[in-house]
Amino acid sequence: MADSIPSAATETAPEELEPRRLVAVFLAVASVLFLASLGQTVVTTALPVILGDLGGLDQITWVITAYLMAATVSAPVFGKLGDLFGRKIMMQVGIAIFLSGSLLCALAPELWFLVLGRFVQGLGGGGLIVSSMATVADNVSPRERGRYQGILGSVFGLSTVVGPLAGGFIVQHFAWEWIFLINLPLGLAAATVLTICVGPSPKRDRVSIDYAGAACLTTVLSLTVLTASLGGSVLPWNSLPMLALMAAVVVALAIFIRIESRAAEAILPLKLFRINNFVVANSVGLIIGVTMFGTITFVPFFMQVVKGMTPAASGLFVFPMMAGLIGASTMAGQFMARTGQYRLLPVFSTGVLAVALVSMAYTHAHTPNWWIALTMLFVGLGIGPTMGVGVTAIQNAVPGNMIGIGTASANMFRLIGGSVGTAAFGAIFSAGLQQQLGGVLEGSARGLTGEMIAAMDPATQELVTQGIAAALHPVFWIACALACLACAISLLMIELPLKDTLPSTRAEPRVPPRAQPAE
């Protein structure tokens, strides 16, 4: 059965927008992306305070993982529905869901209610990120997409700087609930800009929604994250419940593949996995998600708990990372627009990332703060180019009627890496914490809080902070190995020419020039 149902809306090339109109659309897209990406990181510096109120340090990753897992699930759904019904309506729906989740978080009386609110937030946030990036692809030529995607990468980086700083400032001076309430006016402002600036998208005449595929994909991703979260910490890897969970992941994945192979409008068409650049870019994106969100989660935590900094001050150490990410992403976009080349950018940047993560793996309680800041700068330089390059390479390679789901895949795989990686890193850290401090503290080290550490005598405090730092070292060593793997995978990308005009909707993916038939 065909993967798409043709209609008048998909048979003609889109008209290029006049410059002023394009600027207005891009402003709307940037405001929506800022709102969604802010939700990913605003809680990172506030986690020790929130968990001091609602739970222990061993629960640090659940608040992050819930958002990332939901965003991962919603990304392909919103991408496909955007292809079918238009980007604008899907962004409006995404804002409504995101704000509903923010309100649930602000009203949370205990930890798992907060996790539920973060899940709802993530459903909206993942859809917003995908829809905003796909809107750029709808209105900008492939050659210029690198420039615009680079700017969007900068917007993402800016929000990731503002998020930790704002979160740390709020919990230091106000109640932590205001971290979520602040989203309400921001969301209404983004919705207003979106409604005014973006026109309605053409709709398909006939649509078929892959509900079974969406439900099965949700099951696969949820089980995968749950396995990563519980394995080695709550449940031993060789225990019967853990083996059952892993078996359930395999079965759910097999069912999903079977459903997608027969679906009329597959939520994630399997034929995309036959496109080289789709596979390469998403493989690199998945690994980058692991390293990026692992760093964003654990570095502010390290600076607060080990270094004794305030939440606001710890947020400043995310700034060098995002400065590097913004600068590298923008320069990579400019480079792609001017030269039309992009293949080697992720090769060099992931190599830089691997070196920076080696430095993080050697960080301890007495490492100078300036060295940590410098290391974070190079982490950002390593991550930045991969984001815009990945989206551009995918959009340039997939069929024109699958731009939305292609863009969604880039976000989905990065978030899969973020959610599964953060959960796995949390399990590794929790197990390491118990191993390092089990003999130092009475009872379990997993209930440890920052306030408890501050109240200890100097000798015990030194042992505890050194133990926490040691428990984090495996996290960064694993991230370093993954960055090296991403560097190797990046070498497999094929340099497809970036055109200067908006392409008409095409039914087949682009192939390397050498494989095209002679005219």
What is the domain partition of the chain in residue ranges?
Answer: 19-198+265-511, 210-264
Query: Tokens for 34?
Result: 């800022």
Decide if pLDDT at 446 tops 60: no
Q: Give the per-residue pLDDT at 374.
A: 93
Least confident window among 112-121, 231-240, 441-450: 441-450
pLDDT value at residue 131: 79
Q: In the beta sheet, which residues pair with residue 100? A: none
The per-residue pLDDT for 450 is: 60
182 DSSP 8-state letter = T
Q: How far is CA 4 from CA 137, 208, 268, 479, in A?
A: 19, 9, 12, 39
**Which of 119-123, 181-185, 370-374 shows the lowest mean pLDDT across its residues?**
181-185
Residue among 285, 288, 282, 388 at smallest CA distance from 335: 388
Residue 55 pLDDT? 59
pLDDT in tens, 465-477: 788 888 888 889 9
**Tens digit of each residue's pLDDT (9 = 90 or more) over 175-205:** 888 888 888 888 888 888 777 777 666 555 5
Q: Tell me the one-letter amino acid at 191.
A: A
pTM: 0.68
> Out of 44-48, 139-143, 186-190, 379-383, which region has the weakest mean confidence (pLDDT)?
139-143
Reported CATH class of domain 19-198+265-511: mainly alpha
Per-residue confidence band for 385, with pLDDT thresholds at 50, 70 and 90: confident
**What are the tokens at 408?**
């969604």
The residue-averaged pLDDT of 229-245 equals 78
31-50 average pLDDT score: 76
With a cut of 60, say whether residue 312 has pLDDT above it: yes
Beta bridge partners of 235: 231
pLDDT recorded at residue 324: 87
Task: Give the pLDDT score at 505.
Answer: 46
Q: Is the dihedral of CA 299, 300, 301, 302 positive or negative?
A: positive
Write the Ramachandran bin of 60: left for phi over 0, alpha for psi from -120 to 50, otherwise beta.
Answer: alpha
pLDDT, the chain, mean: 77
Which tokens in the block code for residue 417?
């890496």
pLDDT bucket at 487, cuts 50 / 70 / 90? very high
Contact 209, 106 (CB under 8 A): no
Strands, DSSP E only, in 80-167?
none
